Amino acid sequence: MKERLVVGIDIGGTKIAAAAIDAQGQILSRRVIPTEAERGFQDGVQRIVRLIEQVMADAHRRRADLDAIGIGCAGPVNPLTGTIDNPYTLPTWDGVNIVDALQRILNVPVGLENDADAAALGEYWLGAGQNASIVVMVTVGTGIGGGVILDGRVYRGVGGAHPEIGHLAITATGPECYCGLRGCWESLASGPAIAAAMRARAPERDPTSVTGASVLAEARRGDPTARAVVVRAAQVMARGVFTLINLYVPQVVVFGGGVMQAYDLFAPTIQEQIGRDTMAPVDRIELRKAALGTDAGLLGAARVALDRA
Ligand SMILES: [Zn+2]
């Protein structure tokens, strides 16, 4: 029997990555193109088809060798119907059905997931969540998102909806969030929230020079103000993680995304606070830094494809 081969696709607001990936999760070839969603959906589909053909050719395979396609896409998306419902970062693609469009052209099964769920699936399959059946992934970057894997499957809400963990309310009095609530996790501990906290503590600085990354770098160098900002963000992180642990009691919590590249700066505070939880079996719950970096989404998309093949 021939080795199965799939293409994983990661669609974001600025770029689309694709890779030919085998059943063991080995990436055989990869390419990236700009998303340019404003050129319209039909144009996007044509460019994605060409991208798929290119990564297959790079891997020295024919299109007939392709077994399935998996897509992780910036949400909201509907994994049950295959539609993208994201007018925010994919303008002109809102309401389109990418699964039907690619299936019609390529005649192979196509699966779609929210990109945060795809990343969680990737880490569960081949990264920091390997060998665990219940994995919660927390992704901290421009926003806070994540995915929940229960018994090896992506947890879904009603109608396939994705749980938005970044909008767990951490404090009743926090800043107003675009979602309509106050004190959301995302509005208190994302990269921009960390930068905002630093600007508030150091008003003498040029605000344009303060970014999430600059605060993390300063904290690493030992700057006391930056360290205090990071500890405060870590305390917020711990409250969010606390809630996820009490809800799902996972074996592993995986921390990914740009801000969590500096996971070691947050870990002592998070670990210490989680240790105070007397309800959950915290001694059996591991907190780990993500292992796959930006490949988590591509590999998770490949897993989606292999499950459909
Ligand atoms: Zn919110």
| CA 181 to centroid of ligand 1, rounded, Å | 5
224-248 vs 212-221: helix axis angle to the nearest 10? 110
Q: Which pLDDT belongs to residue 87?
A: 86
* Total residue length of the chain: 309
What is the Cα–Cα distance from 176 to 74, expressed in whole angstroms?
Answer: 23
- Which tokens hold the place of 255? 């921390």
| CA 186 to centroid of ligand 1, rounded, Å | 7
Which residue do the tokens 């060998």 mark? 131
Note the pLDDT tens digit of each residue in 253-273: 999 999 999 999 999 999 999
| CA 169 to centroid of ligand 1, rounded, Å | 7
Which amino acid makes up residue 301? A
Note the pLDDT tens digit of each residue in 81-125: 999 998 888 989 999 999 999 999 999 999 999 999 999 999 999
The yes-or-no verdict on residue 1 having pLDDT over 70 is: no
| CA 224 to centroid of ligand 1, rounded, Å | 29
- b/e per residue, 82-116, with b = 16+ CB within 10 A? bbbebeeebeebeebbbbebbbeebebbbbbbbbb
| CA 49 to centroid of ligand 1, rounded, Å | 36
What is the Cα–Cα distance from 72 to 246, expressed in whole angstroms?
Answer: 28
What is the Cα–Cα distance from 115 to 117, expressed in whole angstroms?
Answer: 5
Note the pLDDT tens digit of each residue in 44-77: 999 999 999 999 999 999 989 999 999 999 989 9
| CA 175 to centroid of ligand 1, rounded, Å | 9
Q: Which pLDDT belongs to residue 193?
A: 96
Q: Which residues surround ligand 1, an ion (CB under 5 A)?
A: 167, 177, 179, 181, 184
> What are the beta bridge partners of residue 148?
136
| CA 17 to centroid of ligand 1, rounded, Å | 28
